[in-house]
């Protein structure tokens, strides 16, 4: 049985091929095919593919895990949960969606055009796939921050031996602030200002804005497409299900990110050079 072609791939590849600046935003759906659970929405994956793939906020309450208040109330529980997720990210491999975006960036950069990848993901899979110009809007789970010094460390790729983990930057083992927290953005916290500034600049100057695998409900990330629309950029979305931006974009693609981005990268490769 042959799979039907995915809609709008040629349009998106043509827009990328002629853009002076491309801006892509990704969310948890891009990593679903690597076996990492999304926060909400469908995943298109089954337990047979990767064990439990129920979305995270179905099984866990963000208010008790993803806020500074939750960490203050129960640092052991919060850091155990983030360490469990960190180990899952380390064990995961980039999938066709990550590799497709890295390939698209190479092709765009090769003809001297700009490519910016905004991601809400904390898993670092884009960088591992070869993406270079990545803006981490929600921080990363691979770095942890010392509460005493404010500095970041990159822990070894094995589980912490105590929770909350002790900071290697603080000698005094009785210092209550000598502990680490994940360098991710929690609900109620500001996004890193330099990441927001880079994201706004990229969205406001791009000719094509592409949103992939995000439910587009968490601000300010969900608002960058508005900047691109105000500029008159072409807009596209790749998602398994409709989102609040589906009706706003020029090309709405209902498909798995891996297949769709692989097809876009292949279509770009078969286009005549500049
Ligand atoms: P969500 O979990 O909210 O949304 C994932 C989206 O990806 C959904 O719309 C799914 O339909 C879609 N999806 C799932 N599998 C897919 C696949 N294989 N191909 C294409 N699409 C797929 O994730 P985000 O939008 O990233 O923040 O969530 C944004 C933020 O909310 C996260 O960074 C996190 C969360 O709460 C914090 O923890 C602060």
> 44-75 pLDDT, tens per residue?
655 555 555 667 777 788 878 999 999 999 99
Cα separation, 35 vs 90, in Å, equals 11
pLDDT recorded at residue 203: 98
pLDDT recorded at residue 215: 95
pLDDT recorded at residue 87: 96
- Closest residue by CA, ligand 1 atom 25: 214
> 170-197 pLDDT, tens per residue?
999 999 999 999 999 999 999 999 999 9
pLDDT recorded at residue 40: 85
Helix 257-269 with 96-110: angle, nearest 10 deg:
30
> Which residue out of 8, 98, 126, 138 is catalytically annotated?
138
pLDDT recorded at residue 273: 55
Q: Do the beta carbons of residue 41 and residue 55 sit within 8 Å?
A: yes
Expressed in angstroms and rounded, the spacing between residue 116 Cα and the centre of ligand 1 is 19
pLDDT recorded at residue 58: 75
pLDDT recorded at residue 52: 57
DSSP 207: S
pLDDT recorded at residue 59: 76
pLDDT recorded at residue 56: 79
Q: Is 9 helix (H, G, I), strand (E, B) or coil?
A: helix
With a 6 Å cutoff on the Cβ, whether 39 touches ligand 1 is yes
pLDDT recorded at residue 272: 58
Q: Do the beta carbons of residue 261 and residue 131 sit within 8 Å?
A: no
Angle at 162 between CA 172 and CA 67, to 5 degrees: 95
Q: Is 55 helix (H, G, I), strand (E, B) or coil?
A: coil
Whole-angstrom CA distances from 102 to 106, 108, 130, 199 are: 6, 10, 5, 18
pLDDT recorded at residue 271: 64
pLDDT recorded at residue 60: 80
With a 6 Å cutoff on the Cβ, whether 70 touches ligand 1 is no
Selection from 265, 263, 210 nearest residue 238 by Cα: 210
Atom of ligand 1 nearest to the CA of 40: 2
pTM to 2 decimals? 0.94
What residues of the chain score a pLDDT lower than 70? 1-2, 42-54, 271-274
- For residue 50, indicate whether it is catalytic: no
């Amino acid at each position: 049985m042959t799979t039907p072609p995915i809609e709008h791939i040629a349009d998106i590849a043509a827009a990328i091929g002629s853009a002076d600046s491309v801006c892509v935003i990704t969310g948890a759906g891009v990593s679903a095919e690597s076996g990492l659970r999304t926060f909400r929405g469908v995943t298109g994956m089954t337990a047979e593919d990767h064990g439990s793939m129920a979305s995270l906020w179905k099984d866990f309450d963000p208010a008790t895990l993803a806020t500074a208040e939750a960490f203050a109330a129960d640092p052991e529980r919060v850091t155990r949960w983030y360490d469990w997720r960190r180990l899952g990210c380390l064990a995961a491999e980039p999938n066709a969606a990550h590799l497709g975006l890295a390939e698209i960036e190479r092709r765009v950069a090769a003809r001297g055009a700009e490519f910016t990848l905004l991601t809400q993901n904390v898993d670092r899979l884009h960088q591992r796939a070869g993406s270079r110009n990545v803006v981490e809007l929600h921080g990363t789970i691979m770095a942890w921050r010392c509460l005493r010094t404010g500095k970041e460390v990159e822990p070894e790729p094995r589980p912490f031996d105590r929770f909350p983990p002790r900071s290697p930057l603080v000698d005094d083992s009785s210092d209550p602030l000598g502990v680490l927290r994940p360098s991710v953005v929690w609900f109620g916290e500001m996004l890193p200002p330099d990441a927001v500034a880079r994201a706004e600049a990229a969205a406001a100057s791009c000719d094509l804005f592409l949103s992939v695998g995000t439910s587009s409900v968490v601000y300010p990330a969900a608002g960058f497409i508005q900047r691109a629309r105000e500029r008159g950029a072409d807009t596209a979305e790749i998602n398994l299900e409709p989102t609040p931006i589906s009706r706003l974009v020029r090309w709405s693609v209902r498909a798995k990110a891996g297949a769709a981005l692989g097809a876009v990268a292949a279509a770009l490769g078969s286009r005549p050079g500049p």
